[in-house]
Amino acid sequence: MPVENTVRKVGHTKKSDKLRPTVITWKGHHMVRAHSFLASIREVIRFSEELDVVRIGLIGDMHSGKSTLSQAIAHAIHKYAKLPYSVKILYKDDLLNFSETLKSLESKNYILIFDDVSFLGSSANKQQIEMVKSAITTIRHLEGGADVKIIVMMNYHYSFGLDKYLRTADFKYITTIGSSEGENMEKMFGVKNRNLIVNFKKWRQQAIASEDKLWKMKISNNKGDPAFAYKFRSPFIPVLFWNESSLRFVVTPQRQFMDEICSTCTGAEEPDRQSDIPIPQFMEESERKFGGKTNWISAVRLALFMDGKTVFRPNVTRAFRYLNKCRMEKIINLEECATYYDLTETKTWAPDPSKDVIE
């Protein structure tokens, strides 16, 4: 699995280096290797290779990043797992009608994200909760009779706010620990993790409340070593990760930080944007309609660029930025560049735009 590249260690002497964590970079951003989000994902993937159903709980206050984190987890799993996974985000109505929801799923491996199940601890009645518990028990037996791999993620607000069976999970990610949750967390993860829980609350508060959005961590036992600083959401947020045997600190990015473009995740995040016709059919017909594959790929590249997603080769992107810089500094103007290369504005003609739409 491709992971972050090691760039340096804090400190200089060999003796002291043994006591210092390794600092690496991930897409140009410094982080401590021991805080690796992808390392936690590797644990989930290895676990899922042995079991048919793996359950992940995400616990934290409202607007603390649980939904964003669940999408990042889902993306990393389907990207790096050996088996193919589809991603589907389910909401309150999907959960209350879980049996029907399962019938609507195809017989394939799924990462199912239940966006917020906190209502099951308050507004749902006993019959609805029992129905959900029963459906989760048999979730791997999808319609069609084929057994598949399922990874279920449940987002909720409070550590003990759900039925015991529903909150049981093989892994947990914690985005916040409220003032009344400290004791619950100690009960869940053990008194031995008290210091980590207390420090996590401090780091999270520092990240949110400080003017520069930095949280600073003492990562070395060597006296005189400076604290390591992360900037909140640039691109990481602080999270605790539990694997049923140990609790540790990780930093997690958004899904788009890992890959700006992902059709699997976009289809799950924005189901209304899914194509009405098969993508291969649309692409092949469009290539024929507009003079070949090269023309059509250029159109797709331009459309992505206009949406803020750059898919041109690195040299092209660097050249574009350099050209824009020269234009801003009034070293050159674009019309002069076009004249030099004999580039003229293309006039397109379409008597009936509706005919350009594939039926």
- How high is the pLDDT of residue 5? 45
Residue 338 neighbours by CB under 8 Å, 6+ apart: 344
* 352 found inside a domain: no
Q: What is the pLDDT of residue 206?
A: 92
Q: Are residues 225 and 279 in the same domain?
A: no
Is 83 a domain residue?
Answer: yes
In a domain? residue 269: no
Structural domain boundaries, residue 90: 5-258
- Indicate if the pLDDT at residue 40 is higher than 80: yes
Instruction: Give the model confidence (pLDDT) of 68-80 as tens digits.
Output: 999 999 999 999 9
Confidence band for 174, pLDDT divided at 50, 70 and 90: very high
Q: Is residue 323 part of a domain?
A: yes
Are both 184 and 289 inside the same structural domain? no
Residue 53 placed within a domain: yes
**Which residues fall within 8 angstroms of residue 210, CB to CB, at 6 or more apart?**
none
Evaluate if residue 173 carries a pLDDT over 80: yes
Q: Where are the alpha helices (DSSP H) in the chain?
A: 14-17, 37-50, 66-80, 92-96, 98-104, 126-137, 164-167, 182-189, 194-209, 255-258, 263-269, 279-289, 293-306, 314-328, 334-340
Q: Does residue 23 register a pLDDT over 70? A: yes
CA atoms of 330 and 332, how far apart (whole Å): 5
In a domain, 101, yes or no: yes
What rounded mean pLDDT belongs to the chain? Answer: 79
264 domain residue, yes or no:
no
| Residue 237 binned pLDDT confidence (cut-offs 50, 70, 90) | very high
Q: Residues 150, 115: one domain?
A: yes
